[in-house]
Amino acid sequence: MRVLALSPGPLALQLDRLPALVSLCEQVGATLQVACAPTCRGAWDLIPQVEKILPFDFEASPTLADWANLLGCVREPDFQVCLNFAEGQQVNLMLSMSHIPTRIASSGFSSTEIISPGEGWCAQRLASFLKPLGCTLDADRFSLALSSKDLDAARAEQPAGEGPMLLLAPAGSTGDWPEQRWTSLPESIAQRLKGLRTLQLSPELPLNRRAAAVASSDVVLSSCPVTQRLAVYNGVPLVALGAQPENLPNRPEIRCLGHQADLSALKDGEVLQALGF
């Protein structure tokens, strides 16, 4: 079986969809092609089920020619299923002219199955997309299988020593926790825990390298939604600044702290306590 996913949205949303698409492919023995913005392809390169990426930026006001080209791409292979996360008249018109027999979405006249949002944290809510196919989803069990090459490279970039590794990953956006607090926090922790190693993750790293850096750490402190999801998918203890608890799985090693709109109000002591100090 071959599955098509039409996947608009930023990188964090792409990562939210990984557990559902991987679970579907594993349960029905399918391969996957994904239409997404070129800047988001790194998310789908993390999973082996992806056969092909179809570069298509849904948010860039595609022209009729762009939609026609995408239609050609989806009509040529023999797709049996489409999970459509996009909305709008153009995408529905395009899908209605495709030969895909099962088209699942939350709305749209081209859909053969209309689903309602599921329950649970953000990745688990997509279980409703799998239900019409007789498949189930346990997003909390999903984990990334990273290459040994990327993991070795990540470990080589860590500070020398045998102490615990704290990875800092600020979002770097307006309203983030102030930069000086990201800088001073390791010094405060080092006074309480000798041998602590810290590294600040660069958002410029390719996503596979960022995932490996997360997986090679002992704990992650991050206000970046992408890094937060990478920590969840690698089973690494996480303090997620600005994240809503309902958007992450309920695990003892995951703690949500502060509100996205007011991270500057967070004190060092609150973050230290969340980290266990």
Q: Is 144 helix (H, G, I), strand (E, B) or coil?
A: coil
pLDDT attached to residue 41: 97
Domains in the chain: boundaries: 2-141, 148-274
Summarised one tens digit per residue, pLDDT across range 20-67 is 999 999 999 999 999 999 999 999 999 999 999 999 999 999 999 999
Q: What is the pLDDT of residue 191?
A: 83
pLDDT at 58: 97
Buried b or exposed e, range 158-174, using 16+ CB within 10 angstroms: eeeeeeebbbbbbbeee
d(CA 267, CA 246): 23
- CA–CA distance, 15 with 29 (Å, rounded to integer): 21
Low-confidence ranges of the chain (pLDDT < 70): none
Q: What is the rounded distance in angstroms from the CA atom of residue 250 to the CA atom of residue 244?
A: 11
Give 215's contacts (C-beta < 8 A, 6+ positions apart): 144, 146, 151, 154, 230, 234, 236
Tokens for 53?
């990426």
Residue 34: strand pairing partners: 5, 53
Beta-carbon count within 10 A of 195 CB: 9
pLDDT at 174: 77
For residue 272, the model assigns a pLDDT of: 92
CATH superfamily placement of domain 148-274: Glycogen Phosphorylase B; (3.40.50.2000)
pLDDT for residue 277: 80
In sequence order, what DSSP letters do the residues of 235-254 get, joined into one string? Answer: T--EEEET--GGGS---TTE
Residue 224 to residue 263: CA distance in whole angstroms: 12
Distance CA 115, CA 13 (A): 18
CATH of 2-141, one of 3.40.50.2000, 3.40.30.10, 3.30.70.20, 3.40.50.1000: 3.40.50.2000
pLDDT for the residue numbered 57:
97
Q: Where are the alpha helices (DSSP H) in 29-106?
A: 41-44, 64-75, 89-96
Contact 54, 73 (CB under 8 A): yes
148-274 has the same fold as 2-141: yes
CB atoms within 10 A of CB 84: 25
Nearest to 136 by CA among 128, 148, 145: 128
